Amino acid sequence: MIGRLVVIGLGLIGGSFAKGLRESGLCGEVVGVDLDPQSRRLAVELGVVDRCEEDIAVACRGADVIQLAVPILAMEKLLGLLATMDLGNAVLTDVGSAKGNVVRAAGVAFGAMPSRFVPGHPIAGSEQSGVEASNSQLFKRHKVILTPLPETDPDALAVVDRLWRELGADVEHMQVQRHDEVLAATSHLPHLLAFGLVDSLAKRNENLDIFRYAAGGFRDFTRIAGSDPVMWHDIFLANREAVLRTLDTFRSDLDVLRDAIDAGDGHQLLGVFTRARVAREHFGSLTPVRSMPTSSSPRHCYCRISIATKKRCKLPDTPCAWRRKMPTPGIAMPS
DSSP string, 216-267: HHHHHHHGGGGS-HHHHHHHHHHTHHHHHHHHHHHHHHHHHHHHHHHHT-HH
Q: Quick one: 183 and 206 in the same domain?
A: yes
Question: Which is it for the CA torsion 308, 313, 318, 321, positive or negative?
Answer: negative
Is the pLDDT assigned to residue 75 strictly greater than 70?
yes
Q: Quick one: 168 and 221 in the same domain?
A: no
pTM of the model: 0.77
Is 120 domain-assigned? Answer: yes
Q: Quick one: 163 and 219 in the same domain?
A: no
- E strand or H helix at 93: strand 91-94
What is the pLDDT averaged over residues 150-155?
97
Ranges assigned E (strand) in 25-76: 27-33, 51-53, 65-68
Residue-level pLDDT at 58: 96
Is 205 domain-assigned? Answer: yes
Residues 6 or more apart whose CB falls under 8 angstroms from that of 171 comprise 143, 144, 145, 146, 161, 164, 165
Is 330 domain-assigned? Answer: no
Is the pLDDT assigned to residue 322 strictly greater than 50?
no
Q: Distance (Å, rounded) from C-alpha 288 to C-alpha 186?
A: 16
Residue 220: C-alpha distances to residues 34, 165, 211 (Å): 33, 30, 13
In DSSP terms, 300 is beta-bridged to 314
What are 42-55's pLDDT values in tens digits? 999 999 999 999 99
Helix pair angle (229-238, 240-263), 10° resolution? 100
CATH code where residue 211 lies: 1.10.3660.10
Q: Distance (Å, rounded) from C-alpha 237 to C-alpha 72?
A: 9
Q: Quick one: 25 and 122 in the same domain?
A: yes
Give the SS3 label for residue 100: helix
Is the pLDDT assigned to residue 315 strictly greater than 70?
no
Mean pLDDT of the chain: 85
Is 145 domain-assigned? Answer: yes
CATH code where residue 80 lies: 3.40.50.720
Is 275 domain-assigned? Answer: no
Residue-level pLDDT at 26: 95
Number of domains in the chain: 2
Q: Quick one: 166 and 184 in the same domain?
A: no
Q: Quick one: 111 and 224 in the same domain?
A: no
Mean pLDDT lowest among 45-54, 193-202, 218-227, 306-315? 306-315
What are 125-139's pLDDT values in tens digits? 776 788 999 999 999
DSSP 157: H
What are 24-38's pLDDT values in tens digits? 999 999 999 999 999
Residue-level pLDDT at 325: 33
C-beta of residue 6 within 8 angstroms of C-beta of residue 59: yes
C-beta of residue 62 within 8 angstroms of C-beta of residue 86: no
Identify the domain containing residue 100 by its residue range: 2-174
